[in-house]
Chains A and B, each alone.
Chain A
Amino acid sequence: MSDVRALLAIAWKDLRSEARSRAATVATVFFSSVTLVVLAFALGRDADVMTRAAPGVLWVALAFSGVISAAQAYQSDLIEGAFEQLLTLPVPRAAVFLGKLLTNWLTMTILGWVLLPVTAILFDAPIGSGIPILLLTISLGTLGFSIIATFYAALTANLQARESLLPVLMFPVVVPVLLAAVRATDAIVTGGDPSLAGDWVQLLAGFDLVYLVVTSAIFHIVVEE
């Protein structure tokens, strides 16, 4: 089986498993909604502040949901030693990593696309006309999150205190992606300078690429016996 087919097979397996159990979907949807509402109350004194804070709020909700989603990605694999069995197959480790990444990224992107209008409504922040590039930005931002989260979730999968350890390890590394995503979203929504938005989106893509290359290269060390 070629590497790409193996990658897609792993992604498809995880997607089907998630579609049946919906554990991660329920958790992330619920948690991101709660985050949005809490932030709406926290910032709600000043309507102008709420509008300006909307891009950041969107990414806060996505960031926290991303951690939950990543932790869930390996949960089912730990039952019955399924992950070890997966590793015995002649599949390159990077393909396993990318397969899990693909699923996590897809679910996070869909969540992000859904949260976009919800945030815009709750925070009275008009989206403006750059919807395609906005969807692209969300996809690139969730990609960065997914790369780091999938990587560290594998690392902490069989450690104690993994639920609290994952955000501690992830967030300092994910900060460049978060900053770039927030600035890009803000630039697109306020719509002042199109080249500014373009530059931030390119920067975001650059960060994603660096992290993708580094994590794919060293993933095999994380899951070796």
Chain B
Amino acid sequence: MSLAPSRRPAWLNVLAGAAFLSVAIGAYLGLRVSPPDVNQGDLIRVMYAHVSVAWVSFLAVGVAALAGIAFLWRGRSRMDVISVAGAETALLYGALTIIGGMTYSKPTLNTFWTWDAKLTLTALMVALLAGVFIVRGLIDEPQRRGRVSAVILIVVLASLPLNYLAAEWFRTLHPAKAIDLTGGGVTIDGTMLTILLYNVVAAGLMFVWLLVERVRIGMREVEIDARRVQADEGSSEVVRV
């Protein structure tokens, strides 16, 4: 029983091209167009790559958790596949964030690691996602696996803001005094802010493309598993998921 090849949709190639192009333009903007920082000179250019992937990594975790909740609600395999895809890209982007952070902190702070809130949070997020994948690897039955992984992702989502707050206030002295939600304002030069936002959009576009590709692969895997089950049971009906 051969798998009917599904045509790769044209818009997917357009998306891929747009993603790579925007990342390239973002890199050019960050490396050449952006002015050097008053204090940190050219080192600030790492910030564009680092902050953009950091924001998108948390977006990815949100996507993974929401897809997991959707899977708990309706049980559609597509939601579980989206959840896994989101978690994988979150892990990738989280790892990139940490690498970028270490690249940035060594020259500026003369240390590869500081236990500041954001870096700690990212490290914990990577550890949490690794846990999701370990547990998924230990459960064979797809529905159960999807439900357990969704449950873990819900706890992960709940823990992220708590982790950030705790890590933020751990080093500073007083949690009560630090609860200031009026917003500190963005103290960054206008051009740099624009370039940063552009890089965030570029990273986001790349994330969307990676997600779509991974979901396509995942849905094929689901289809293969379903056909294998059908073959075992001796049925010749075509499977639609």
Contact = CB atoms under 8 A, between A and B. Distances in A.
Interface of A: 148, 151, 155-156, 159-161, 165, 168-169, 171-173, 175-176, 179-180, 183, 193, 195-196, 199-200, 203, 207, 210-211, 214-215, 218, 221-222, 224
Given A203-B175, A207-B166, A218 B151 contact: yes
A179 to B, nearest CB: 4
Contact of B176 (A155, A175, A199, A222): A199
A179 B138 contact: no
A203 B155 contact: no
Interface residues of B, number: 33
Contacts of B167: 175-176, 179
Contacts of A176: 159, 162-163, 165-167
B135 A165 contact: yes
Contacts of B128: 172-173
Given A168-B134, A221-B72, A210 B162 contact: yes
A196 B172 CA distance: 11
A108 to B, nearest CB: 20
A173 B159 contact: yes
Given A169-B131, A173-B159, A207-B162, A222 B139 contact: no
B135 A155 contact: yes
B73 to A, nearest CB: 11
B94 to A, nearest CB: 12
Given A203-B175, A224-B147, 12 more contacts: A169-B152, A171-B127, A172-B127, A172-B163, A183-B169, A199-B174, A203-B166, A207-B162, A221-B147, A221-B150, A221-B151, A222-B151
24 contacts: A151-B155, A155-B135, A155-B148, A155-B151, A155-B152, A159-B135, A159-B138, A160-B138, A165-B134, A165-B135, A168-B134, A172-B128, A172-B159, A172-B163, A173-B155, A175-B167, A176-B165, A183-B169, A196-B173, A199-B176, A203-B166, A203-B175, A210-B162, A224-B147
Contacts of B154: 214, 218
Interface string B128-140: 1011001100110
A222 B152 CA distance: 9
Among all A-B residue pairs, the 4 with the closest Cβ atoms: A176-B166, A176-B162, A179-B166, A172-B124
